[in-house]
Amino acid sequence: MQLQLAGEARRPDRESEDFVAASPEALVLLDGASSPAGLESGCRHGTAWYVRRLGVHLLARLTDRTDRSIAECLADAIVETAALHGGRCDLAHPNTPAAMVVAARRHGESLEYLVLGDSLLVLEHRDGPPKVIGDNQRFPGGEELRRQVRETVPGSAERAALRLEYALAVRAARNRGTGPWIAAAGPRAAEHAETGFVRLDRLHALAALTAGASRYTERFGLGSWGDALRLLAESGPGELIARVRAAERVDPSCERWPRGRTHDDASALYALL
């Protein structure tokens, strides 16, 4: 694989809660689940710490444990990362650090992939339209609250209160069989990831994007997925993120394109196969 990647925090004064890394055989992209300010997590480390360690452990598993399925590799990485917390962290806390995950690796003559959550994997086939995989852990019970968040004024007390209410509702349901599954402290979430194989000779390229980067198509409609893949191939992931940022800047009040926050951490990877 020939790889390009880029990432940018949503604000210069904040650490990104995304993580992306790759080897010639495998790639991982994680989007940390951000928490509203002041919401306790039971963890002294934080989301950025968690996504980096989970990402590193997952990449190592993908490259050195070809005997394990890609979902088993994620489960193993979750267990290994949980052990790093130590006894001072409450991993049973509903707001323990968590992340959405995209992973892929060469497996013989095929590409094996995994997606858990609202990050996306886009497969560019040699023939036919792109295939978009992901956004597979929606939470119907919170959609009305989410809509209300998007319709309130960014930075207002009302939006902050609604964001907190939504965050609490999601965290009360996730990884319990009644809500979305996400990579956190328990390996069972890996069983609910979307996984599969596709023959390498049928693929030209692939892209992996966190929710902040997929705004290019999913939220702002700046182009189709075919357009996004062409942009990635010709100008690289950094240019795609730059165009997302430009769209965010012309709509700081989130009126033209309703969304939870004006800017989001954005990471993208493009691999030519």
Q: What is the pLDDT of residues 217-263, one digit of tens each?
A: 999 999 999 999 999 999 999 999 999 999 999 999 898 998 888 99
pLDDT of 20 over the 90 cut: yes
What would the mean pLDDT of 166-195 be, rounded to a whole number?
92
Instruction: State the amino acid at position 240 in one-letter form.
Output: L
pLDDT of 30 over the 80 cut: yes
- Nearest-angstrom CA–CA distance, 225 and 211: 14
Q: What pLDDT score does 145 carry?
A: 86
- Nearest-angstrom CA–CA distance, 124 and 273: 10
Q: What pLDDT score does 244 carry?
A: 98
pLDDT of 153 over the 80 cut: yes
Pairing state between β 99-107 and 120-125: unpaired
Provide the CATH number for the domain formed by 2-137+176-272 in this structure. 3.60.40.10
pLDDT of 167 over the 90 cut: no
pLDDT of 22 over the 80 cut: yes
Q: What is the pLDDT of residues 81-135, one digit of tens each?
A: 999 998 889 999 999 999 999 999 999 999 999 999 999 999 999 999 999 999 8
- Nearest-angstrom CA–CA distance, 114 and 194: 6
CB 113 within 8 A of CB 104: yes
Q: What is the pLDDT of residues 34-47, one digit of tens each?
A: 887 778 899 999 99
Contacts of 20 (CB under 8 A, 6+ apart): 5, 7, 27, 28, 29, 30, 55, 208, 267, 268, 269
Confidence band for 177, pLDDT divided at 50, 70 and 90: confident
Q: Structural domain boundaries of the chain? A: 2-137+176-272
Instruction: State the amino acid at position 251 in one-letter form.
Output: D
Q: What is the pLDDT of residues 55-73, one digit of tens each?
A: 999 999 999 999 999 999 9
Contacts of 236 (CB under 8 A, 6+ apart): 4, 6, 270
Closest by CA to 187, choosing from 57, 27, 65, is 57
CA of residue 179 relative to chain centroid, distance: 17
CB 53 within 8 A of CB 86: no
- Nearest-angstrom CA–CA distance, 180 and 199: 29
| Mean pLDDT (the chain, rounded) | 94
Q: What is the pLDDT of residues 129-147, one digit of tens each?
A: 999 999 888 888 888 888 8
Dihedral sign (CA 213, 219, 225, 229): negative
Percentage of the residues of the chain whose pLDDT score is greater than 70: 100
CB 53 within 8 A of CB 101: no
